Amino acid sequence: MTDTMTSENNENASHFLIIRVTLGREMQVMERLESQLSRVPGVYTIIKPYSLKGYIVVETDSYESVSQLIYNIKHIRGIIKKELTVEEALKTIEKKKQNIEINIGDVVKILSGPFKGETATVKSVNKDKGEITVMFLESAVPINVNIKISDVSTIKSEGESK
C-alpha cells in the first residue's frame, strides 16, 4: 500500500494511478493491458490521455491490482506514486481544440512521419479532420499528401510579403 492510499479511502473510492510507458508505445501497452483485465480484479478503466505522452491512466481500487496488471508487460517503465484526483484524470482525457493558423498557399515544414524535414506548399485545409493536403517543393513529381496539422509548422504564410 502506498502513502497516498489509506485503508479507509481504499474501501469505497476508486483511484487513478499513472503508469509510465515507453514513448510511442502507449497503444501497444494499452492493448496488452486490456487483454489482461479479465485476470486482475479491481481494475476498472484504462485511459490513454491526450495531454500526457508516454503515460497511461488506470482507474483501480488498489495499487496492488495495478502492480499485478502490469507484471511482465513489455514497454512499461513503472507506476508513478502520485495519485490523480477525479478532476485531474478528467482533464487528461479532454482533447483541446487547436487554433488552426494554416492557410492555402502557406509553406510548411513536416515535423514527423516519413516525410520529416521536407518542405511543402499547402493545397487544402480540412479543419474538421485536422488535416491538410500538401505538395512537396523538392519533389520531381507533384504528389499530394494528407498530413495532420499538428505534424507541420508554418515556415512562410501566404499573407507575408515576398
Amino acid identity, position 160 = E
Summarised one tens digit per residue, pLDDT across range 15-30 is: 899 999 999 899 999 9
Q: Where are the domains of the chain?
A: 7-93, 107-156
SS3 state at 137: coil
Q: Which residue has the cell 476498472?
A: 44
Using alpha carbons, list the distances in angstroms from residue 32 to 16, 52, 79, 131.
19, 19, 16, 30
Task: Supply 42's cell numbers.
Answer: 479491481
Residue 162: per-residue pLDDT: 44
End-to-end CA distance of the chain: 64
Residue 43: its H or E element: strand 43-47
- One of 3.20.20.80, 2.30.30.30, 3.10.20.600, 1.10.10.10 is the CATH number of 107-156, namely 2.30.30.30
Burial of 156 (0-12, 13-18, 19+ CB in 10 A): middle
Residue 159: per-residue pLDDT: 62
Summarised one tens digit per residue, pLDDT across range 98-157 is: 566 888 999 999 988 888 899 999 999 988 888 999 999 888 888 899 998 888 888 888
pLDDT of residue 11 exceeding 90, the answer is no
Residue 99: per-residue pLDDT: 66
Predicted TM-score of the model (pTM): 0.54
SS3 state at 85: coil
- Distance, in Å, from the CA atom of 147 to the CA atom of 159, rounded to the nearest integer, reads 22
Domain 7-93 annotated CATH 3.30.930.10: no
What's the whole-number average pLDDT of the chain?
A: 83
- Taking residues 38-48, report their average pLDDT: 89
